Amino acid sequence: MPIFRARETYRDLKRYSQIASVLAHHGFTEVLDRLKARYRAPRKRKPLIKERVAEGPPIPVRLRLVFEELGPTFIKLGQILSSRPDILPPDYIKELSKLQDDVPPFPFEEARTLLETQLRHPLRELFSSFEEKPVAAASLAQVHRARTPAGEEVAVKIQRIGIEEVIETDIRILREFAGLAERHVPESRYFGPLELVEGFARTIRHELDFVREGRNIDRFKAHFISTPTVYIPKVHWDLTSSKVLTIEFITGIKISDVDRLTAAGLDRKTIALNGANLTLEEIFELRRFHADPHPGNIFVLDNNVIAPVDFGMTGTIDEETSEQMTGIFVAVMQKDVDTLVGLLRTIGIVGEPYDDRAFKRELHDLFDRYYGVPLNRLDIGTITRELMTIVHRHKLRLPSEFAMIGKALLISEGVGRLLDPEFNIIETARPYARRILLRRFDPARQLRGLSRVADEVIALLRALPADTREILTMMRKGKLAMRFEHRGLELLTDELDRSSNRISFALVIAALIIGSSLIFQTGVGPTVFGYPVLGLGGFLLASILGVWLLIGIMRSKRL
């Protein structure tokens, strides 16, 4: 049956075919089959594909290769999926974490054209100097070093021309595939493919909006303005638009370049602590954090000062989420299984089947392995990965912000351990968690909570008489109706529809054969070599339709 609606443009259809071809090339024809999309795969190469896949790399590796070959949108999607251990198994997470957003730069003339179009002035009027060779290039944008007329050194981030159209096309395709997955692959529904794609679309569109990124930088700068261990670059708003971002150029050493840090006489232990405090302060206090804190985007300045430079992908945390996260942290540290299970079930989405006793038993086993281990010797990364493996096995899907927070903490701990083998992020995080726990008992906060509840109760009481009157009126007029929604029956209805179509098709073929046979018996109409033309035409048409029906049945693998 057709997959894509007729509204798609030629560019979209070409991209659909390319995606299907890449999936087939790397041995994912079975995925295309289950999505009812195999007809887009190149048929001549299928035997070779099966033979190569049997001898080739494992599925996670092939999935990474698919994402790399399909370009920017899919690389970003893979990077986001690598932070979702509640959805994907550990071997997939490990492989997708290798995806690198590193591509050749686009020509300087393209950069100049977009820059002058966006800022509405010639390049020579905007900057006193501008380096044609970019200092960094990625799939969405590249960065050039320049100097303003006032003599300030800046980094100019310029979006790739046409990248927005490419991403929007891919988002439409991903949305279609997600819909097909929910429709034809029942086991995919527990992690919500459509919801996942919508969240990804929102994230990548935010990253394409450089004005939004500039505002994020201003928020971080305002929060850390009095923190001597953190430096946030300044945004040059007169040189910024939706596709061009100009910020203060940071001259420092990448936090992951241990040798250069040591050669510069910087204190690695202090850097590890300052970097972790930056992440923890963002999460627990600012409640706005780097969703992808890649070590290559964090620099170290003199006096061990931390300077992050990429603010395109950020996450936000509300007060309730912050408290839930702190509760999980405390429950893990206290090995309180019942509290941890309650919190995970409260914030997560429970799939089917779910065995509460088995879930608790696995958590008890996890904590027993670390019983008696001093807090400063616990490896939060290992514990988190094992916990997420259990969560994934029992089909609990956590909100995306929890996954991003977990990834940020794991990266922070990994960098900290690289700089200082004795570094432990749990010890560093304890004061932040303690402060949040104490806030629960703050009288002013409790009073605000009670006030909100009182307002909601009053609003409910005010609306109750009118709502009750409306319901009674509808009952009296016979207009009150209940709507039932069937879930999980789409596959059954599709199969019934397909079966009825095949039966109708078979009846038409049978009618053609019977009718042609009667014409042969009567000999009515013109003849060719003594045979009635109408009868021959009927048999020929019946043969074509019969072969077509047989091919359709064989392709569905359901004889």
Report residue 517 as tokens. Answer: 């046979």
Contact, 148 vs 127, CB < 8 A? yes
Which among 15, 30, 27 has a CA at the least distance from the CA of 185? 30
Pick from 340, 341, 346: which is nearest to 327 by CA?
A: 340
- Chain centroid to Cα 307, Å, comes to 27
User: Which residues touch 491 (CB under 8 Å, ≥6 apart)?
Assistant: 183, 184, 186
CB 413 within 8 A of CB 381: yes
Alpha helices in 370-489 (DSSP H): 380-393, 400-419, 425-439, 443-476
Question: Nearest 5°: CA angle at 142, between 138 and 148?
Answer: 155
Distance CA 384, CA 50 (A): 37
Distance (Å, rounded) from C-alpha 476 to C-alpha 473? Answer: 5
- According to DSSP, the residues that pair with 137 across neighbouring strands are 142
Q: Is 170 a catalytic residue?
A: no
Element (H, E) at 22: helix 10-25
User: What length does the chain have?
Assistant: 559
Catalytic residue among 292, 355, 365, 420: 292
CB atoms within 10 A of CB 185: 14
- Residues annotated as part of the active site: 292
